[in-house]
Amino acid sequence: MKILILGGDGYLGWPTAMHFSQLGHQVAVVDNYLRRKLCLENSVEPLFPVPNLLERITIWREHTELDILPFIGDLQDWDFVEKTFKSFTPEVVIHYAEQPSAPFSMMNRQAASLTISNNIGVTANVIFAVKEFCPTAHIIKLGTMGEYGTPNIDIEEGWIDIEHKGRTDRFLYPRQAGSLYHTTKVMDTDLLWFYVRTWGLRVTDLMQGPVYGLHTDETDIDHSLFPFFNYDEIFGTVLNRFIVQAVAGYPLTVYGKGGQTRGYLNIKDTLQCVRLAAENPVDQGELRILNQFTETFSVNDLAEKVKNAGLNFGLNVSIKRIENPRKEAEEHYYNPAHSGFKKLGLKPNLLTEDVLNSMLETVIKYKSGIAFHKMFRGHKWS
Ligand code: USQ
């Protein structure tokens, strides 16, 4: 397949590009280095420096003799979008090209504005480009489990049947996101659903939970192929942060009561899910929504797991409940469905002690890169 990966420099985009390239697909990546720029501006660079996209492609070619085609530019710029889609004409478009951080979106007006214009503007351009240059291409869009929020009823897989005054119909499952970032993903879903109905596009919208890890079959070929590994309060996700905190001897930063529960997955399973979605396309005029996670944990569960795994390395890990900078339920019901990927054949890589050990082992190697001032600044969401 000809696969265009938007956001191909990112935490998930680059491992996804290598994964499809290794499988023998023709892969092109697009990025404008927004994530790198925002990290630099906010002094929250990842644990270790990561070569730029062109350098990574060269390293990949040296190891595998496989080529990945780069397009460096901004997908909000229609001229660039047109040039990219005309020269590559993809069969599959994988769309990760968004400002990915909930805390960043809540920092201030400029950050909020950037998140809105980038995320919704890029999604709209992708839709317009597919309609114009490759109308049968399958769009695989990375949404988030956070679109649903934490309702007091079971979360279904994208849709819900509602009976009202004796009549029934099927609707998008109610969305009530907890941050502006998550809200832009709700808006993406609405845009995609509108154009699926109007133009008959074919779309898979993946509701992904927080991802952890940095090891995949391809990143393990050479450590310079590792993805960004952020451990700061803005771009780091919770388990990656806890692993770095454990190694640094910094008390694990559990926000509030720590009962916040989410559906988590290993980075290897992000690649598996996106591959399964690409290999099993939907029909024209269909919006398929899949909940993309493998297990649910509370923040307290994760902290306990990291504390216990730390003992294997002689780390004396402590846990500190700190005032929650976010506005979120700290104790809540959470029972989301996730049978779609199981039916497509997903074999989960669960959060075992071995997985925690290998993350700890790798972070210990890069321990000298840990900067305490990046761990917690207490940006309040209110
Ligand atoms: N948390 C802590 N301590 C920390 C960091 C986070 O207790 O030091 C808590 C948060 O308050 C939250 C939970 O851990 O309740 C998850 O936080 P997170 O930072 O790992 O994840 P989140 O901000 O929700 O966003 C991440 C990704 C985002 C993706 C989302 C999936 O950055 O791109 O869409 O996970 S989900 O959470 O299901 O919406």
Chain centre distance of CA 145: 10
Specify the ligand 1 atom closest to the Cα of 326: 11
Q: Which atom of ligand 1 is nearest to the CA of 252?
A: 8
Q: Would you tell me the crossing angle of helices 353-365 and 299-311 to the nearest 10 degrees? A: 70
Beta carbons of 246 and 315 less than 8 angstroms apart: yes
Looking at residue 379, its pLDDT comes to 86
| Contact yes or no for 213/243 (Cβ under 8 A) | no
Confidence (pLDDT) at 247: 98
Question: How many residues in the chain?
Answer: 382
Model pLDDT, residue 301: 98
State how far the alpha carbon of 367 is from the alpha carbons of 224, 239, 251, 311, 360, in Å.
16, 16, 16, 17, 10
Which residue has a Cα nearest atom 29 of ligand 1?
210
Distances, alpha carbon 229 to alpha carbons 30, 71, 130, 303, 351, in Å: 20, 23, 32, 19, 18
CA 330 to centroid of ligand 1, rounded, Å: 12
What DSSP string runs through 136-162?
TPEEEEEEEGGGT---SS-B-SSEEEE
State in Å: Cα 238 to ligand 1 middle: 6
**Residue 171: DSSP 8-state:** E
Separation of alpha carbons 331 and 250, rounded Å? 25
Adjacent-strand bridge partners of 296: 263
How far is it, in rounded angstroms, from Cα 81 to Cα 140? 17
250 is catalytic: no
- For 24-50, letters b (16+ CB in 10 Å) and e give ebbbbbbbbbbbbebbeebebbbbbeb
Q: Given 84, 115, 144, 184, which residue is catalytic?
A: 144
Helices (H) and strands (E) in the chain, counts: 12, 14
Per-residue pLDDT tens listing for the chain (382 residues):
999 999 999 999 999 999 999 999 999 999 999 999 999 999 999 999 999 999 999 999 999 999 999 999 999 999 999 999 999 999 999 999 999 999 999 999 999 999 999 999 999 999 999 999 999 999 999 999 999 999 999 999 999 999 999 999 999 999 999 999 999 999 999 999 999 999 999 999 999 999 999 999 999 999 999 999 999 999 999 999 999 999 999 999 999 999 999 999 999 999 999 999 999 999 999 999 999 999 999 999 999 999 999 999 999 999 999 999 999 999 999 999 999 999 999 999 999 999 999 999 999 999 999 999 999 988 898 7
User: Which atom of ligand 1 is nearest the CA belonging to 262?
Assistant: 38
User: Of all atoms in ligand 1, which is nearest to the CA of residue 100?
Assistant: 33
Pocket of ligand 1 (CB under 6 A): 100-102, 144-146, 182, 208-210, 237-238, 241, 253-255, 260, 262, 299, 326, 328
Which residue in 123, 173, 185, 294 is the catalytic one? 185
Q: Which residues contact 168 (CB under 8 A, 6 or more apart)?
A: 161, 162
Query: How far is it, in rounded angstroms, from Cα 235 to Cα 231?
Result: 7
Decide: 365 and 311 in contact? Cβ < 8 Å: no
Residue 144 appears among annotated catalytic residues: yes
Long-range pairs, 331-335, Cβ under 8 A, ≥24: 331/257, 331/259, 332/150, 332/152, 332/259, 332/260, 332/261, 333/150, 333/151, 333/152, 333/153, 334/150, 334/155, 334/261, 334/262, 334/296, 335/154, 335/155
- How remote is the C-alpha of 270 from its chain's centroid? 8
- Considering only CA atoms, which of 221, 235, 242 is closest in space to residue 360? 242
Catalytic residue selected from 11, 96, 148, 181: 181
- Quote the pLDDT of residue 382: 76
3-class DSSP assignment, residue 335: coil
Whole-model pTM? 0.98
Closest CA to 91 of 281, 270, 271: 281
Nearest CA, atom 4, ligand 1 = 238
Give catalytic status of residue 181 as yes or no: yes
Which residues, 6 or more positions from 66, have their beta carbon under 8 angstroms from its beta carbon? Answer: 21, 22, 60
In whole angstroms, how large is the CA radius of gyration of the chain? 20
Q: Which domains does the chain have, with CATH numbers?
A: 2-374 (3.40.50.720)
- Cα(81)–Cα(128) distance, integer angstroms: 10
- Nearest CA to 252 out of 243, 263, 264 is that of 243
